[in-house]
Structure 1
């Protein structure tokens, strides 16, 4: 349900479980001296649970607790996590998918499932390959709680500078006897124009114990579908100093002394139609032959499939474009005389299969000694059937010359102005067009341009064995316990990268190509008054089949990349409890040792020559049939200390100090040794390769917090954190030649081209290939390196208050974060910046009394740097603008077993907007629409 009222700050250790259980039971004594236990449930139960855990925690650990069995506060875990102080999320199609913690983006946070490191895989070529877990693949129904460790602990797996997020799932011994919870829900997405207006979501959890609670079994399953539509306008990128006819006289040289200008690659209008199916399941068996021994076996799976049918109308600005640059250097009225319209169709298929098998033994050989052994073998496989994730077709009308056919970009608050003629919208009929019918949007004037297939197939496997031990001091003394353990982790990722681009004269007379009126498009992002008059619609798979039927289909050989990391770790920590001036004090001090061996390898075809295909695009490589392998090795050892100090200053006031050292390992694609080219006629001539010798980022973290618990479910807290981060990864560049398969430098075939070149003929025209007489190309060869240190610091403020017995309550929190690693929008050579850094805030109001529950939640995130790579322009930034969203939910308990509920997400229909270096450099504006859900929940 939207609005996770069970969020707390500073929660953490499982050692508070007994206190939590006790807090949820109130003993009532009537006048006849009969004792009765009243069990607290619902929102108040989750608040009491989390608050009791919080108060007894070591370090700074936030938590969310399920309100009841099978009832998590939000249906998407990321959307629940965003309610936590310091946690904000990235969204995909309006859903939370990845998290940022204290300004550190998704790749800086480690996600574990029941304290096991989880694999992840993504097939999108433009995103690269990182370690970020995608929360949209995991349903919330079987999740009993989430812990966010913001400070390092010796016994917690390393890998998250921002945080380590541990997802806890239900087990049969969590409950006595028989338990069942099930939900049937209908999801209504108001954006849908084709597809189902209501899609189903069904989940269930059943648990049963046998043999006097010595044997237990739990099964949870869920199936969710969603149909949706997105409307977008934007650009594929804003390269620097592109366009030869730009007027720079308006640039303010006090900020931009070199008069750098930015002109868009394209202007796009997109229509997405998406269908998503998510299936989750978990089977857990537990056996406790004695009170001292518990064995658990579990299997967890998820299946995620999403299809995205995208039609895009676009206009591209090549090197001959011009326009007037504003004071910052942004060309807001780009013009191009020799132009064409492009009509793209994408069929994107994203599939992921996640499977995890685990075994756990919890043994207490003596009253003072406890041992836990845990092993799991977990795999995430993207595109398991080997299909390309992206099929892309481009149709066009032929190039033509116009002296007075400018194309203008968004200005002011209008945010859209596209493809306009002087005086208004473009006319459908161009009298001077030269087309057979004079209609630029008539199917007989449209020709096939190219097809492209691309994407990753990724298989990420983790095998991990862990041993944890605790010795408890049963006698008097300040030393209360010793914790120790060791682990072995084998992390393997194998990738297959596909990319084929073919220009072909495919006959499209049989293609079902339609042009629909633009009226009503983008009503909340500026309207349709300056858009193309009509938008093209056709199916990419149908067009690709025409290419196959006519003999134009081919596939380039893929590139193979792999990384293997083998890590051996051990830890030791001490728990101390004492007093200082009659104030209770607790201390946890520990150290973790890790040794990691890294092997990165690649297998790819070698380059024979460069092919001069056209003046506007990039050179195509002509590859050999032979595969060549290369491997690089690295190793590093680390010591990760931590100290957590807690003092009960007053009976209801707690102060904390924590120091820890944490790490984040490099993104996986940054270590692949394979070489990639991006060379274009006339330049730039770029190349990139990975670096297996990267060191992990490390951070020394300091935290101070003060917490005031003035009621069992009410508190206020303030915290300050400061992180000193080393080894931030950026890009270093060298200039030099790149050899072909024979060891000779690659050459430029576009200088003094041969007759008939460039040529888009399928397979390539050999006359347009680079030859020994052509000039040698000097490439800018980029590779990632550890090049910078930085500091990140900020404040976290939180209040949680219940208004007595009225049933009303409120939760509010604010995170303010700063860093000295900011992005300089005027520096075109900057390659390092902290992505995800932003302030955030939440306010949640709730009511729970009798059978009625209701919540209203508002989540806000300030603007932030999302990436240093635009869709088709590496090295240029993407900023996401500030965004706030209202979510609402309400439920009514019909009786002890059944309840009905209603949920609303983004109820005020907010839109998203991202841009390049400056607000006028639009990358994407999206309109998604509100979503609603209604359903019935049963629990026995």
Structure 2
């Protein structure tokens, strides 16, 4: 790329243009060829120390508060997972799935409050789990870290950056051929050793590579990067799908402390479950980038990026459900700590989960230097994320159970029979399960003659999220004296569309399972880190949900309900302008930026859903079935809003080493998509709970006014200490409200309960439903607990960020230590049973990293800690009840050695102390899940040319 160098390298304007283009949504060859030596290192850093020095330089030179991570070398990011690298940044913490980072929280604002861009382009995302809902959060598991050259975290709003992130905007940068001089190639091969594996391969491959070349005297460049990764793993879990208020008719409430719980509400578990999860995951990433510079003032970049993510999970679950007459004693908070239920059955669940997501993005970028003072950058991309693109069900679920027999043990409960279960938990919430099977033949709930088929279920989302975005950025640079250094301006149009198909079929069928391979294995050795086998069922079930579903098909009982369609289209037009000033005050350099972004958004929300004619009384323990109309009804609603988003950044260099910052900005985050759908969902069971949820297409975006103060001391190359304070005033905060009320059928009449005064022959599990068991207007009306999102009260969040990065001279040793304290008036009130207004993800966090790098040897040990936080305003099978994640800390290591200039070997260890995770409901003794994982290690070799 000699043309740019010859034209601009020796001019002051060249440096200004380079800096401008960096801030204009593109990494250009101007930057790679024209920057000074320090700037070139930002692209071509090597080693831990070089990456940290580069990140420190980005932080120091930025307007506003920006943190960054750069690759240690070509194809070598600090961690194997992007989220796990991001958690090293002050103020950034992560959520984990299967003990692997997948989503990020910034300054207490959870995944859906942070915008993720790829090379400054807004990226789509899709998920297939029904229980997760549909939000805008990006899953970092889908991108290989080896393909990333850097990540920038913008914590303050900027006029030229797309809106959508109250917590931050996270920009992922990938390499381009003009970033390098001539031919470059790198390849990495590693084996992933997962110590938890019991089904699958304990060693799986990860392969990645990149090749870049320039042609025609640097006027043409081509870069291709590819990666393939596999991982097998196991998770062992004990927990419950939810805690239900006022569940159970035999609960002793005398122990409730009314000063804590004035309503004397008690909570009992839906069930107790013990699970084994055997997982297999494959991920492919690829990017092809073509660059063409026909003249010195024009660079065209055409790129195509893809990812393919596929995960299969086979789950076996042994559980016991506590139905309406649950008994036990409530503690001071209202938790039933020793629930019991007489004469029910054990349940033996099997799940086959298949999750498949295809991401594709094609983009065109044009950089044009119109005059010495004026440059333009045009960028367009069409990007799609598609979950379950082949239409397959993402979740297949089958359940076996013990038979119902007449009462024989004299407890007075007629026509139930089966197993008696009681649970006692210790102060840490670990359950001890006591049960007997006096009513079953042979008193053995695991005997083959005491097992029968119960139900099958298929469910999941198919989601297609498409974003078409066009952006035009312009910059005028003042080549003369004066405080005004440059003006940035531009416009953008973003067309955001999401189409969702929710699939759910559930049926109780009389299946012959005599040919089904069912095994019951000893629980000895299960959950050694979460309580041990003495606390759980003596035997755990093991069979294939796919085999059971095949029997359902073979015996003619299989069917699928029509999917429910929901869709949202958002079209946003944005205009922006910003002015940059540079001057001095008392010989102290000052930089000041003032910007304004105007956005106009039109929203159309659509649902296509069959109306409910009645509820079907299918089973005494399972949920009511819905009796639908034959034809769906189309519901379409529209909305719009316009926002002005100002920002101001003020930087002053008190000395050569001491930098102060003051920033103000207004940012917004748009509502989660599933909350906008106008459709309704019913989940009702005999004796309760009776739950319903309704979307709210009229939701407004959250708007936050942000103040940032920062003092940074850069006392040596790569070494600095900083302290920052932030305050966020959030309006239109979205929470879940619950109310009691009736839900209408398709004719507008309240739904009724067919189980209160059942008709002869009901309940009936006959396929297709028994009309005698359908609800009628003569049955009692159901009072539902109705959940709905709403724009609730304003909120305030504030916090402190402390950071120290120190290099111990030329010794090779260095350390990074940081901590974030976050607080606000948006914490969840566990004793308030009426409203769930709270901010998910709010928590303190800390990092401690020590490293050594010298003579080709690199070693790093990192500890990451996150305090307890509110994960969600729902539980797996209970809306309106919270899920908290308890405090968690993890140790990771990384060691590598450069055999020569081209080849290095390495070993990486993640969660080397095999930490476990725990989630609970309102109180610590309301266990949701305790999960055990193993450590995993990556051993490999990397070569570059």
Match of 1:688? 693
1:874 Cα deviation after fit: 0.5
Match of 1:160? 165
Deviates more, 1:615-624 or 1:107-116: 615-624
What CA distance in whole angstroms lies between the structure 2 residues aligned with 1:748 and 1:740? 12
In the alignment, is the contact (CA less than 8 A) between 1:614 and 1:760 conserved in 2? yes
Distance 1:732 1:910, change over 3 A: closer
Match of 1:145? 150
| Aligned match for 1:282, one of 287, 308, 329 | 287
Match of 1:546? 551
What CA distance in whole angstroms lies between the structure 1 residues aligned with 2:556 and 2:495? 45
Give the TM-score normalised by structure 1.
0.95
In the alignment, is the contact (CA less than 8 A) between 2:45 and 2:71 conserved in 1? no
| Aligned match for 1:497, one of 496, 502, 511 | 502
What CA distance in whole angstroms lies between the structure 1 residues aligned with 2:827 and 2:762? 45
1:12 Cα deviation after fit: 12
| Aligned match for 1:179, one of 172, 175, 184 | 184
| Aligned match for 1:411, one of 426, 442, 445 | 426
1:13 Cα deviation after fit: 9.6
List per-residue Cα deviations over 1:617-643 (Å, max 9, x = no partner): 322110121111000000000000000
What CA distance in whole angstroms lies between the structure 1 residues aligned with 2:647 and 2:570? 24
What CA distance in whole angstroms lies between the structure 2 residues aligned with 1:861 and 1:794? 15
Match of 1:6? none
List per-residue Cα deviations over 1:167-191 (Å, max 9, x = no partner): 0000000001000011000000000
1:389 Cα deviation after fit: 0.4
| Aligned match for 1:112, one of 101, 106, 117 | 117
- Say if 2:933 is the partner of 1:936: no
What CA distance in whole angstroms lies between the structure 1 residues aligned with 2:301 and 2:35? 24
In the alignment, is the contact (CA less than 8 A) between 1:267 and 1:314 conserved in 2? yes
Distance 1:650 1:18, change over 3 A: farther
Match of 1:268? 273
Match of 2:15? none
In the alignment, is the contact (CA less than 8 A) between 2:68 and 2:153 conserved in 1? yes
What CA distance in whole angstroms lies between the structure 2 residues aligned with 1:392 and 1:720? 49
What CA distance in whole angstroms lies between the structure 2 residues aligned with 1:938 and 1:503? 57
What CA distance in whole angstroms lies between the structure 1 residues aligned with 2:768 and 2:479? 78
1:733 Cα deviation after fit: 4.8
In the alignment, is the contact (CA less than 8 A) between 2:394 and 2:461 conserved in 1? yes
List per-residue Cα deviations over 1:523-553 (Å, max 9, x = no partner): 1111111211110000000000001101111
Match of 1:604? 609
Match of 1:517? 522
Distance 1:40 1:125, change over 3 A: closer
List per-residue Cα deviations over 1:445-504 (Å, max 9, x = no partner): 100000000000000000000000110000000000000000000000000000111000
Please give the residue correspondences for 1:249-648 in structure 2 after superposition, counting only pairs within 5 Å: 249-399=254-404, 401=407, 403=411, 405-413=420-428, 415-421=429-435, 430=437, 432-435=438-441, 437-648=442-653
1:746 Cα deviation after fit: 2.5
What CA distance in whole angstroms lies between the structure 2 residues aligned with 1:146 and 1:20? 19
- Say if 2:49 is the partner of 1:44: yes
SS at match of 1:642: strand
List per-residue Cα deviations over 1:573-602 (Å, max 9, x = no partner): 000000111110001110000000000000
- Say if 2:822 is the partner of 1:817: yes
SS at match of 2:510: coil
Please give the residue correspondences for 1:32-71 in structure 2 after superposition, counting only pairs within 5 Å: 41-71=46-76
What CA distance in whole angstroms lies between the structure 2 residues aligned with 1:329 and 1:931? 40
1:763 Cα deviation after fit: 1.4
1:81 Cα deviation after fit: 0.1
SS at match of 1:662: strand
1:859 Cα deviation after fit: 0.3
List per-residue Cα deviations over 1:805-843 (Å, max 9, x = no partner): 100000010000001111111111122100000000001
In the alignment, is the contact (CA less than 8 A) between 1:20 and 1:48 conserved in 2? no
1:405 Cα deviation after fit: 3.6
- Say if 2:674 is the partner of 1:666: no
In the alignment, is the contact (CA less than 8 A) between 1:12 and 1:53 conserved in 2? no
What CA distance in whole angstroms lies between the structure 1 residues aligned with 2:440 and 2:906? 61
Aligned residues: 908
1:113 Cα deviation after fit: 0.3
Question: Which runs of 5 or more residues in structure 2 are unaligned?
Answer: 1-18, 24-30, 412-418
1:798 Cα deviation after fit: 0.3
1:17 Cα deviation after fit: 7.7
What CA distance in whole angstroms lies between the structure 2 residues aligned with 1:734 and 1:225? 46
| Aligned match for 1:712, one of 695, 713, 717 | 717
1:20 Cα deviation after fit: 7.8
- Say if 2:213 is the partner of 1:208: yes
SS at match of 1:748: coil
1:780 Cα deviation after fit: 4.3
SS at match of 2:379: strand
Distance 1:310 1:584, change over 3 A: same
What CA distance in whole angstroms lies between the structure 2 residues aligned with 1:938 and 1:12? 34
In the alignment, is the contact (CA less than 8 A) between 1:13 and 1:56 conserved in 2? no
Distance 1:227 1:800, change over 3 A: same
What CA distance in whole angstroms lies between the structure 2 residues aligned with 1:674 and 1:702? 38
SS at match of 1:876: strand
Match of 1:33? none
What CA distance in whole angstroms lies between the structure 1 residues aligned with 2:423 and 2:690? 29
In the alignment, is the contact (CA less than 8 A) between 1:12 and 1:58 conserved in 2? no
Deviates more, 1:186-195 or 1:687-696: 687-696
Give the TM-score normalised by structure 2.
0.94
In the alignment, is the contact (CA less than 8 A) between 1:301 and 1:355 conserved in 2? yes
Match of 2:754? 749
Distance 1:47 1:212, change over 3 A: same
What CA distance in whole angstroms lies between the structure 1 residues aligned with 2:108 and 2:33? 34
In the alignment, is the contact (CA less than 8 A) between 1:433 and 1:440 conserved in 2? no
Deviates more, 1:792-801 or 1:607-616: 607-616
1:852 Cα deviation after fit: 0.3
What CA distance in whole angstroms lies between the structure 1 residues aligned with 2:718 and 2:749? 72
Match of 2:11? none
1:40 Cα deviation after fit: 7.0
In the alignment, is the contact (CA less than 8 A) between 1:321 and 1:336 conserved in 2? yes
Match of 1:238? 243
| Aligned match for 2:734, one of 703, 709, 729 | 729
1:688 Cα deviation after fit: 1.9
In the alignment, is the contact (CA less than 8 A) between 1:215 and 1:286 conserved in 2? yes
What CA distance in whole angstroms lies between the structure 1 residues aligned with 2:262 and 2:890? 40
Distance 1:211 1:685, change over 3 A: same
Question: Which runs of 5 or more residues in structure 1 are unaligned?
Answer: 1-10, 27-38
- Say if 2:715 is the partner of 1:700: no
Distance 1:840 1:648, change over 3 A: same
List per-residue Cα deviations over 1:70-103 (Å, max 9, x = no partner): 1111111000000000000000001000000000
List per-residue Cα deviations over 1:37-66 (Å, max 9, x = no partner): xx9731222122122222111000110011
Distance 1:20 1:512, change over 3 A: farther
